[in-house]
Amino acid sequence: MNLARASLLGTLLLYFFLSWTYLAGTPVQEFYLPDSVPQMQRSAPVLAGIGPDEKEYLIYVRSLAERGVAPRPTLEQRKSPDEFVCYQAQHPSLFFLLSVPLWKLFAGQGVLFWTLWRGLCALLGATAIALAAKAARLLFPESKLVALCAAPLMAFVPIFGHLVGHVSNEPLALALGAWAWLLAVRYCREARLPSAQQALYLGFLLGSALQTRLTAVIWCFALVVLLGMVFKKRALRPLVFALGLALVMQVPWLATNMGNYGKPLVRPFDNPLLANGATLGEFFGAGIRPPGSPTQFTPLITVLFWAATGWTPFWLIGGLLPGSFDGMVLNAAYLLLCDLVVGLTLFWNASQVRRKLAPSDPVVRAALWAAGGALLFLIAVVFQQMLFVDWNVLQSAGRYFTAAAPLLVLFLLTALEAITRKLPASAKLAVGGVAALALFLASLHTTSLVRQFYAGNPTQKKWQKIAPAGSGRAYIVSDTDEG
């Protein structure tokens, strides 16, 4: 067994151990659907996971399975943070459609259904790890360090394990995006321009990823940079084919939103940082402190906070150092530590791209440009969402990191290459092994914090009121026949 295969196998074994810890440590509990239905009209309670967004995913899947349509709350409800169903109702439906057979087969099996559903997401996360590691090895075919570290440096980033360790549409979108990335890297490495059929297949993967979660748009951006830099003008035709098909695949969903809400993209919340008369000048100057915020936001604070929460779940930051869970909002020491790691990683990558890193290899250079562009794109999205949509998006900014994990792991790999450039081969592998082990221990600690969090918070807010029957386009998803 070669080094890369052994590393991948060992990584996946440890990854599934972490996933099982998340799965077993996140409780399920009984809820009535919805609590706006009078008590006398309620049927038996439904078992639901209390992990992030798991109740909302259940509403979506039940609606598709039992009524054949997605939840459709009114536009007014979408602006209410209390109407949790509105959040997931804005998402494309591919993941939920694929979950319908699981619901129909195992809905009556209680905990077994949630174990299988969460296990499916963990399996999709493992698929993304394997695809991303293969792409990294294609980019650096001679590097034993990459062969050793490509899989663990993605699998053991704490935010990655956290987001794929419970029911989420993130793993499916990530696996589809990583698949498209791997194919594009292979075409570039073989200097083989994608044919029309291959370009359409890339488009199908991109379109399917977008039909799962809109953050998958990052893969469209990455493929444009990669193929454009390697094939120059010749890349125009396959890119038009691929992106054209991906866009066409979104038409039914966008048209449905237009019919229901009068706009193709609908956001559930409306709590921008630039509210109550705040201006961009204030943001770039003294900063803005919105109601309910623990700190005053400036561009620098935003970037630093994003860099830290791109590694660890926001709500666990306070628990990584001694202290109570009441102080989870900001832990300055931990934020600075994460930012130091991120800053050094980017510095080493910048120096490598400029001087040392395979200047004769256009594919590696193009891939790093794609990763760097993805990073800037993600930061721009965080700013746009925070300023003009909902400032709380910064608390879940780690999702953006996960959406582009196969790209951003290239930064870690090339930073390790730079650090160990003058070391003998055995020492290089030792450094890589220590880095992988450190990340695994960080992820393991994060799983223990998850268990601790739920042990102290065994319940979360129950179902929020959706809408009474007959209220226009509002859509009740319940065990009753009303709607």
Question: Which of 413, 367, 397 is closest to 153 using CA atoms?
Answer: 413
CB 466 within 8 Å of CB 83: yes
Per residue in 95-113, pLDDT tens?
A: 999 999 999 998 777 788 9
Host domain of residue 443? 1-164+432-471
Q: Which residues of 273-294 are buried (b: 16+ CB within 10 A; e: fewer)?
A: bbeeebeeeebeeebbebeeee
User: Is residue 271 in some structural domain?
Assistant: no
User: Is residue 353 in some structural domain?
Assistant: yes
CB 223 within 8 Å of CB 184: yes
pLDDT of residue 201: 96
Strands 28-31 and 46-49: antiparallel
Both structure tokens of 61: 């899947």
pLDDT of residue 188: 94
- Do 91 and 178 fall within a single domain? no
pLDDT of residue 296: 80
- Do 412 and 457 fall within a single domain? no
CB 36 within 8 Å of CB 466: yes
User: Scanning the structure block, which residue is given the tokens 């038409």?
Assistant: 251
Task: Domain count for the chain, please give it.
Answer: 3
- Do 19 and 118 fall within a single domain? yes
Helix, strand, coil share of the chain (percent; to 5): 70, 0, 30
Both structure tokens of 192: 């083989």
pLDDT of residue 483: 28
Per residue in 387-432, pLDDT tens?
A: 888 787 777 777 777 888 898 888 888 888 878 878 898 998 999 9
- Do 308 and 392 fall within a single domain? yes
Enter the pTM of the model.
0.84
DSSP string of 312-375? S-GGGGGGGSSS-GGG-S--HHHHHHHHHHHHHHHHHHHHIIIIIS-TT-HHHHHHHHHHHHHH
- Do 144 and 229 fall within a single domain? no
What is the helix (H) or strand (E) element at residue 31, kind and residue range?
Answer: strand 28-31
- Do 20 and 142 fall within a single domain? yes
Neighbours of 75 (CB within 10 A): 15
Question: Which of 317, 302, 336 is closest to 453 using CA atoms?
Answer: 317
Question: Which of 258, 180, 423 is closest to 433 using CA atoms?
Answer: 423
User: Is residue 363 in some structural domain?
Assistant: yes
Which residues, given as ranges, of the chain have pLDDT below 70? 1, 32-44, 72-90, 266-270, 292, 294, 308, 311-360, 455-483
Question: Which of 175, 169, 179, 172 is closest to 223 using CA atoms?
Answer: 179
CB-based contacts of 225: which residues, under 8 Å, 6+ apart?
366, 369, 370, 373
- Do 36 and 97 fall within a single domain? yes
